Amino acid sequence: MDESVTDEVRALAVRARAAARHLALEPRARKDAALEAMAGALLGAREEVLRANGEDLARAEQAGTPANILDRLRLTDERLAQMAQGLRDVAGLPDPVGEVVRGSTLANGLELRQVRVPFGVVGMIYEARPNVTADAAGICLKSGNAVLLRGSSSARSSNAAVVRVLREAAADSGLPADVVQLVPAESRDSVTALMRARGLVDVLVPRGGAGLIRSVVEGSTVPVIETGVGNCHVYVDAGADLDRALAIVLNAKTHRTSVCNAAESLLVHEAVAEVFVPRVVEALQSAGVTVHGDGRFLAQDGVVAATDDDWGTEYLSLDISARVVAGLDEAVDHIHRHGTGHSDAIVTEDQSAARRFVAAVDSAAVLVNASTRFTDGGEFGFGAEIGISTQKLHARGPMGLPEMTTTKYVVTGDGHVR
Amino acid sequence: MDESVTDEVRALAVRARAAARHLALEPRARKDAALEAMAGALLGAREEVLRANGEDLARAEQAGTPANILDRLRLTDERLAQMAQGLRDVAGLPDPVGEVVRGSTLANGLELRQVRVPFGVVGMIYEARPNVTADAAGICLKSGNAVLLRGSSSARSSNAAVVRVLREAAADSGLPADVVQLVPAESRDSVTALMRARGLVDVLVPRGGAGLIRSVVEGSTVPVIETGVGNCHVYVDAGADLDRALAIVLNAKTHRTSVCNAAESLLVHEAVAEVFVPRVVEALQSAGVTVHGDGRFLAQDGVVAATDDDWGTEYLSLDISARVVAGLDEAVDHIHRHGTGHSDAIVTEDQSAARRFVAAVDSAAVLVNASTRFTDGGEFGFGAEIGISTQKLHARGPMGLPEMTTTKYVVTGDGHVR
């Protein structure tokens, strides 16, 4: 074992493994009962949790934390109710464990089944929001995994209170309390230890800013599921219905700006540029959006000149980069050069163009005549989402419960030998 | 980009990406025609390939390479015919690209499809055998991936000849020659460069000894599919049919010893130990197997004392470790402590015991009344196998064509906005 795995994290992981072995054998009913108990316990512990959250908030205020970060850190009665409801929603979802993914009887009579089973121990590394603590615990428990939660140091009191409540509810339901454990957040050492605990931790899911995710991806020997940065594009084709195009661009950009599936870049086919560019610029500006454009867009009042950096920027704000392209191929090239492989949309009534765009664009989600905002576990009907993967290995796009499992082959014979 | 990515590997990867973009859009018929052309070209270039292989063999002999390694390095008419047949077999398999894995129409009318697509660029790092060069190229091409082949330096002339032939056949079939490229094997730098070419190479598949695989897993920032070391167990339960047990133990140990799905360890329930231990020791010894046993096994003539190291050893030879256990739970604990999560078998007629073993053992394949030797892409009916994954992320167990793909979500609407 890597020497950067601290004794503390090693001990937590060993306990998680034992709990995971136990949890893997539990039927759905036991897991759902525990999730319901956790939801009830969280509401019952309202005062304790809000008091702990108050400590975090007071510390953060003293440290001069900006208001938007304070808001992410804050728990309220409404947010607690959402956390509880989230746990109940997960209880209502089908159990992915035991699902037969593939099965056949071989020519020699051997029965082959590929069956979903839990990973074992999942490590979550995440920032600020304490509601992720309950969400991740619920999704991991339902998918049969023990979880090691390494939240932000700024939320340490809130996380400790939430985890204490969840562990007690798990134990009251007859599960090992160690299915949910909090990893101390006092220093970065515990992040490094999780990243190097290969063989003890089965998979790591980092959630947070680009810097956090990059450092986990680059430094980890434990397999990682990368969740994503989204530099999402809307391409308005020559064959677009321009009313639809306008509605989709506005929605994708302005419906919610701080999320990874918001549009950050607009590409317009030159055949419709003369009509569409003035319309879309006016509509975006009316909605408070700053347009960072090149040549054709710059001719409009109020458009600021795009620099080379703009094409690769995930603004997460009321800004959009915009460019006129000579055609679909140039749009696809632009997306491949500057995109992050998250969500990219084409607006067109031209069936061949739609088909070509869908085939050529190599992203987790490719949308036709729909806003990029639809790339979301909730919108896709998954019921719960642990993040949106922008990697190609294992899971790509919104990740629900099945993505938090692996499979095993079960081979049953009658004394078969080769 | 990481500075350990050499200019040479970067240039190869950039060309591979361009070729992959092209290949992803090709229909099955074009890919199958190229595979058939490659098979024909390989047979047509018999003399060139065997002459190049002769150079490798001469170099290896001069360097005092042991006979078994020389044998792995050697190409013959028979092996060339197998390589060509392998390419034709892959042409005959269904195309995984385009398969709809999941699909639904959402409440708002959006059509959601999860569709298999190629990874893009696959890096293969492998040892000795030049036949892997053609096998990997065929599987990657059929699954729509461009491949960067980094074979062993000892096989460099053979690999260069094979790759030259395959590239020419690809180009003659109208595909970019760069769908198959050889990465120079003169120094370790090219391995490091592949491992750090995140963003240019989509996935790495190391095939070879435990040392190679560990170094790739630990040093790579490119996602890795680990192929496996197999310390496989056969557990003979109290409820076993002992004739079947004997046949399975013998087959799993002696059918072929140098492979990862051969049994390396035997666990016997104490209730049948008195009858079974003498029988199995005699049968194994008659087949030339050295039994490394503890207490109950040591009482038999010729059994050597097992050390603690034996339980974790993948012998890949006519050796087996053997122990009597108090029951199924002790067998499962032993397997979790010492196994590698490859293939583990139970022999029993007791339905409850089989069910418990299957649920509790966390391995890529769990077998009931069947030899561990069945864990194999060919035996599973996959038609082609790029390796056997012992990791839990993305692919676990034998990997065929579908495992060499990722998916994308295609979302089709009518101007849908949120």
For B306-332, what is each residue's pLDDT tens digit?
999 999 999 999 999 999 999 999 999
For B32, the token pair is 């199958």
Q: Which residues contact B294 (CB under 8 A, 6 or more apart)?
A: B305, B306, B322, B323, B324
Q: Which of B243, B367, B393 sits opposite A411 (nearest CB)?
A: B367
Quote the minimal CA–CA distance from A214 to chain B in Å.
10
How much is the average pLDDT of A244-258?
96
Tens digits of per-residue pLDDT, B136-157?
A: 999 999 999 999 999 999 999 9
**For residue A383, what pLDDT is reported?**
86
Q: Which residues contact A355 (CB under 8 A, 6 or more apart)?
A: none
Answer whether residue A22 shows pLDDT above 90: yes
Segment 97-136 of chain A within 8 Å of chain B by CB? 104, 106-107, 110, 112, 114, 117, 119-120
For B185, the token pair is 């094997």
Answer whether residue B398 shows pLDDT above 90: yes
Chain B residues whose CB is inside 8 A of the A251 CB are 417-418
Q: Which residues contact A338 (CB under 8 A, 6 or more apart)?
A: A231, A265, A311, A312
Q: Is A408 on the interface with B (CB under 8 A)?
A: yes
Which segment of A385-394, B52-61, B77-86, B111-120 scores lowest on mean pLDDT?
Answer: A385-394
> What is the overall mean pLDDT for chain B?
95
Q: Which of A250, A407, A410 sits opposite B396 (nearest CB)?
A: A407
**For residue A213, what pLDDT is reported?**
86
B207 compared with A306, residue with greater pLDDT: A306
Q: Is B365 on the interface with A (CB under 8 A)?
A: yes
**For residue A346, what pLDDT is reported?**
98
**For residue B42, what pLDDT is reported?**
97
Residue A409 vs residues A324, A394, B344, B369: alpha-carbon distances, Å: 51, 17, 11, 14
Quote the minimal CA–CA distance from A347 to chain B in Å.
8
Cβ-defined contact of B414 to A223 (cutoff 8 Å): no
Cβ-defined contact of B114 to A397 (cutoff 8 Å): yes
Preferred mutation among B250, B408, B412 to probe A, highest tally of A CBs within 10 A: B408
Chain B residues whose CB is inside 8 A of the A369 CB are 412-416
Tens digits of per-residue pLDDT, B112-133?
A: 999 999 999 999 999 868 999 9
**For residue A187, what pLDDT is reported?**
85
Burial of B171 (0-12, 13-18, 19+ CB in 10 A): middle
ipTM reported for the complex, 2 dp: 0.93
Cβ-defined contact of A418 to B255 (cutoff 8 Å): yes
Answer whether residue A385 shows pLDDT above 70: yes
For A387, the 3-state DSSP assignment is strand
Chain B residues whose CB is inside 8 A of the A410 CB are 358, 365-368
Quote the minimal CA–CA distance from B38 to chain A in Å.
26
Closest chain B residue to the Cα of A410, Cα to Cα: B366
Q: How many CB pairs under 8 A join A and B?
A: 217
Chain B residues whose CB is inside 8 A of the A117 CB are 362
Q: Is B46 on the interface with A (CB under 8 A)?
A: no
Tens digits of per-residue pLDDT, B155-172?
A: 999 999 999 999 999 999
Chain A residues whose CB is inside 8 A of the B416 CB are 248, 369-371, 374
Q: Is A63 on the interface with B (CB under 8 A)?
A: no
Quote the minimal CA–CA distance from B257 to chain A in Å.
13
A228-265 burial: b if 16+ Cβ within 10 Å, else e: bbbbbbbbbbbbbbeebbbbbbbbbbbbebeebbbbbb
Answer whether residue A128 shows pLDDT above 80: no
For A229, the 3-state DSSP assignment is coil
Quote the minimal CA–CA distance from A61 to chain B in Å.
35
Cβ-defined contact of B409 to A369 (cutoff 8 Å): no
**For residue B358, what pLDDT is reported?**
97
Quote the minimal CA–CA distance from A190 to chain B in Å.
19
Answer whether residue A209 shows pLDDT above 90: no
Q: Is B299 on the interface with A (CB under 8 A)?
A: no
- Neighbouring-strand partners of residue B405: B118
Q: Is B6 on the interface with A (CB under 8 A)?
A: no
Segment 190-219 of chain B within 8 Å of chain A by CB? 198, 202-203, 217-218
Task: State the pairing for strand pair B290-293/B263-269.
Answer: unpaired
Question: pLDDT tier at B302 (50, 70, 90 boundaries)?
Answer: very high
Q: Is A4 on the interface with B (CB under 8 A)?
A: no
Cβ-defined contact of A411 to B365 (cutoff 8 Å): yes
Segment 8-27 of chain B within 8 Å of chain A by CB? 21, 24-25
**For residue B1, what pLDDT is reported?**
62
How much is the average pLDDT of A279-290?
98
Neighbouring C-beta atoms of residue A61, cutoff 10 Å: 12
Answer whether residue B4 shows pLDDT above 90: no
Half-sphere exposure of B175 (CA within 13 A, CB side): 35
Q: What are the sequence ranges of the domains in chain A?
A: 7-226+395-412, 232-374
Chain A residues whose CB is inside 8 A of the B336 CB are 21
**For residue A211, what pLDDT is reported?**
85
Question: pLDDT tier at A366 (50, 70, 90 boundaries)?
Answer: very high
Question: pLDDT tier at B227 (50, 70, 90 boundaries)?
Answer: confident
Answer whether residue A1 shows pLDDT above 70: no
Which segment of B10-14, B67-71, B401-405 scores lowest on mean pLDDT?
Answer: B67-71
Quote the minimal CA–CA distance from A401 to chain B in Å.
14
| Strand order from edge to edge, sheet including B232-236 | A100-105, A111-118, A405-416, B365-370, B343-347, B232-236, B263-269, B319-325, B290-293, B304-305
Cβ-defined contact of B409 to A248 (cutoff 8 Å): no
Cβ-defined contact of B217 to A218 (cutoff 8 Å): no
Answer whether residue B228 shows pLDDT above 80: no
Answer whether residue B211 shows pLDDT above 90: no
Cβ-defined contact of A417 to B365 (cutoff 8 Å): no
**For residue B86, what pLDDT is reported?**
94
Q: Which residues contact B370 (CB under 8 A, 6 or more apart)?
A: A110, A411, A412, A413, A415, A416, A417, B248, B345
Domain range A7-226+395-412, its CATH number among 1.10.3720.10, 3.40.50.1370, 3.40.605.10, 2.60.40.10: 3.40.605.10
Nearest of A251, A243, A197, A250 to residue A224 by alpha carbon: A197
Question: What CATH homologous superfamily does B232-374 map to?
Answer: Aldehyde Dehydrogenase; Chain A, domain 2 (3.40.309.10)
Cβ-defined contact of A396 to B411 (cutoff 8 Å): no
Closest chain B residue to the Cα of A23, Cα to Cα: B360
Q: Is B355 on the interface with A (CB under 8 A)?
A: no
Q: Is A301 on the interface with B (CB under 8 A)?
A: no
Whole-angstrom Cα distance, residue A231 to residue A339? 5
Answer whether residue B108 shows pLDDT above 80: yes
Q: What is the amino acid identity at position B316?
A: L
